Amino acid sequence: MQWARPYRLGMTDFPKTDRLMQRGAEFLGSKYAILCGAMSWVSERNLVSAISNAGGFGVIACGAMTPELLETEIAETQKLTDKPFGVNLITMHPQLFDLIEVCDKAGVSHVVLAGGIPPKGSVEAIKGGANPAKVICFAPTLALAKKLLRSGADALVIEGMEAGGHIGPVSTSVLAQEMLPELSEEHLIFVAGGIGRGNAIAGYLEMGAAGVQLGTRFACAAESIAHENFKKAFFRANARDAIASVQVDPRLPVIPVRALKNKGTEEFTRKQIEVAGVLDREEIAMEEAQLQIEHYWAGALRRAVIDGDVENGSLMAGQSVGMLKAEEPVADIMQKLMAQSEEALTRR
């Protein structure tokens, strides 16, 4: 059961960009090989469907959803678009395989696995269900990228530290230089992190990327349900305001998170100390400790995105946030990105 109807290639206003994006677009079933990063509370039915309808590839952020909530979110998204979209699942979610089953039953075409190395059997479950889906994984290093591809990943996202939310230690430009020459000829590699304009998209496509992923650029779109206060905070911010969290205790491996600095970022430091203390007393296992951290972020994000508490909530944003100045419809954002890319490629 495949709900989504892919785009068909035809006449185009962006011939140079479309040619370089063709492999990625065909893989996604979208008009443009531009994914929207999965942003908890933001990447839901309204934004996801708007991005897919505008020719991109929307991705539902499952986050801490239960299988029942995800089932509803997918169904509601399918009412708003007949174009392909994906679902982002966190690998440490305690009900991961139940969530995979929900995606399978709904005929989701692509599943993105994020937050760690996919657990044993998860890739096989996604690709071997009644409605086999494509698997996209995140690869922070070349060695892990090769391992994921050997393990069955159909495509990879390489995301640099400029991105918002959970980040790695290496910049996008360095990852692209290291990994695209090694992998892009035979595999589909999407580049993410700090991309705010089409000029950058053009550069990564020329280096061999099959497409790109942007999150921050779409977070304040007109179709985004994010609170007005959340959007205004983004419009006021510059690149230096989007800072990475600090790991307090080396025994508690917490993936850094990039967000706009506020009281919420300071609270996260206190939360780490609290969880580390519980871990020291052996009252919980490491996996549970990490889950507590993830649940903290889910709650903090909701406070900012839904409730509009931009002081105590989490304002996850990439360093491209300084390029956001006003609310725009998704379709306009998509056309601007493509036009900027085409102009850059034409000049060259």
Does one domain contain both 291 and 333? no
Residue 225 carries which side chain, given as an amino acid letter? I
Task: Answer yes or no: is 3 within a domain.
Answer: no
Does one domain contain both 203 and 80? yes
pLDDT tens digits, residue range 216-274? 999 999 999 999 999 999 999 999 999 998 877 776 767 788 999 999 888 888 888 88
Render each residue's pLDDT in the chain as its tens digit; 348 residues: 455 666 554 456 899 999 999 999 999 999 999 999 999 999 999 999 999 999 999 999 999 899 999 999 999 999 999 999 999 999 989 999 999 999 999 999 999 999 889 999 999 999 999 999 999 999 999 999 999 999 999 999 999 999 999 899 999 999 999 999 999 999 999 999 999 999 999 999 999 999 999 999 999 999 999 999 999 999 999 999 999 988 777 767 677 889 999 998 888 888 888 888 888 888 888 878 877 887 787 789 999 999 999 999 999 999 999 999 999 999 999 999 999 999 999 998
Residue with tokens 């393990």: 151
Domain range for 239 is 233-319
Task: Answer yes or no: is 79 within a domain.
Answer: yes
Does one domain contain both 133 and 262? no
CATH of the domain at 179: 3.20.20.70
Residue 292 CB burial class (10 angstroms; 0-12, 13-18, ≥19): middle
Does one domain contain both 60 and 30? yes
Task: Answer yes or no: is 7 within a domain.
Answer: no
Give the pTM. 0.93
Task: Answer yes or no: is 8 within a domain.
Answer: no
d(CA 52, CA 113): 19
Residues in CB range of 60: below 8 A, 6 or more apart: 38, 43, 44, 45, 48, 70, 73, 74, 77, 85, 86, 87, 88
Does one domain contain both 132 and 58? yes
Does one domain contain both 126 and 22? yes
Does one domain contain both 190 and 217? yes
Does one domain contain both 192 and 272? no
Please tell me the predicted confidence (pLDDT) of residue 262. 94
Task: Answer yes or no: is 1 within a domain.
Answer: no
Q: How many domains does the chain have?
A: 2
Does one domain contain both 24 and 113? yes
Q: Report residue 9 as tokens.
A: 């290639």
Does one domain contain both 215 and 306? no
Please tell me the predicted confidence (pLDDT) of residue 273. 86
Residue 7 carries which side chain, given as an amino acid letter? Y
pLDDT tens digits, residue range 72-116? 999 999 999 999 999 999 998 999 999 999 999 999 999 999 988
Task: Answer yes or no: is 5 within a domain.
Answer: no
Please tell me the predicted confidence (pLDDT) of residue 278. 85
Please tell me the predicted confidence (pLDDT) of residue 6. 67
Does one domain contain both 88 and 184? yes
Task: Answer yes or no: is 6 within a domain.
Answer: no
**Residue 342 CB coordination number (10 Å):** 20
Task: Answer yes or no: is 10 within a domain.
Answer: no
27, containing H or E segment: helix 15-28
Q: Report residue 266 as tokens.
A: 């300071």
